[in-house]
Amino acid sequence: MKIIAYAEGGATALGVITSPTHFVAVSDIAPELPSGLIAILELAHGLARLRDAAQGVQGDRALASVRLKPFLDRPNAMWALALNFKSHVAETGLQTNADYPHLFMRMPASYVGSDEPIVAPPESIARAFDYEGELGVIIGKPGRYIPVQRAMEHVAGYTCLNEGSVREYQVHNRQFGLGKNFEASGSYGPWLMTSDEFGDPAKHTVLTRINGVVRQRAPLDDMLFDVARVISYLSQGYNLRPGDLIAMGTPGALKPQPGDVEGHDMSRQYGLFKVPGLVHMRPGDQVEVEIDGLGILRNPVVHDKSCRGGTQGPQTAA
């Protein structure tokens, strides 16, 4: 089952995808269910009730006719992993702990939905604005001290995720949180696909395209810490809640192909690490994160229109 959130009448509604082009509104097939996805996840057998209600229904609304929104309406926690792909560790040369995942948090305001614009920071403060194609994991069942062997029972589903990162702000100090939390700098979607439909994450591949050129591609079994280990580890610290999101980390950049002028042009890289094949996101770009069997997350990149008359603040030549 694939669940979307979409804008309707100044609010956000939920739908269930019934075909590649159509969906049905949750309020039409299950009016007794809550209007928010997290509230449905909190219900006993909430997803099962929604699946039963959608069984055999023909969608009467065109997917192209609505604007998709982030489907987590009030998330308790939005985690992300740094340096969780072997290829990303290798390209940066950074060290990470082999026993414990490197975790940080993102704010809900840092994410937009599929097809919504990602906002690039003004070049006066940052130019190294990087894509990070990732698998997003959504918790469905709460739990504390979850053993690795039972961790996947707590997953409601998965989504594609672009964890947009402002590299200059990541190196201002040891806590790089702001560089990972610029307003509307990342995205997730286009939907939540339930875990029974997606299957084993390790059997899938993530890739990222910028303007149609594949810039990242890696099997999800290249992760240092898989989904079950991360869930188990997080549950040692707090009670995981329905709707908690975990961004599982990003792979390294693909080496540029012959004729890939932008991928070979290291002079246009402004981050701390110069990597062949890496390009930064810039206004006018189209970014896609695809996970086979799950879907494609698409976003245009736009200027930050909230910036007026320049910006003053700390800058780092990285």
Q: Are residues 115 and 228 in the same domain?
A: yes
Question: Do 139 and 45 share a structural domain?
Answer: no
Domain that holds residue 288: 78-303
* Whether residue 199 sits in one domain with residue 134: yes
| Whole-structure pTM value | 0.95
Which pLDDT belongs to residue 2? 98
What CATH number should be reported for the domain holding residue 114? 3.90.850.10
Check pLDDT > 90 for residue 309: no
- pLDDT recorded at residue 313: 47
Residue carrying structure tokens 């739990």: 143
Q: Is 136 exposed, middle or buried (0-12, 13-18, 19+ CB in 10 A)?
A: buried
**Residue pLDDT, tens place only, 163-186:** 999 999 998 988 788 999 999 999
pLDDT class of 206 with cuts at 50, 70, 90 = very high
In this prediction, residue 314 carries a pLDDT of: 44
Residue 251 pLDDT: 94
Nearest to 131 by CA among 254, 310, 219: 254
Q: Quick one: 89 and 204 in the same domain?
A: yes
Share of the chain above pLDDT 90, in %: 86
What does the pLDDT read at residue 317?
33
Residue 312 clears pLDDT 70, i.e. is over it:
no
Average pLDDT, the chain: 94
> How many structural domains are present in the chain?
2
Query: Is 317 a domain residue?
Result: no
Give the residues across from 187 on adjacent strands: 112, 162
Which pLDDT band holds residue 43 (cuts at 50, 70, 90)? very high
Residue 312 resides in a domain: no
Residues shown for the chain:
318
CA 143/CA 17 separation, integer angstroms:
29
Examine residue 54 and state whether it is found in any structural domain, yes or no. yes
Beta carbons of 318 and 171 less than 8 angstroms apart: yes
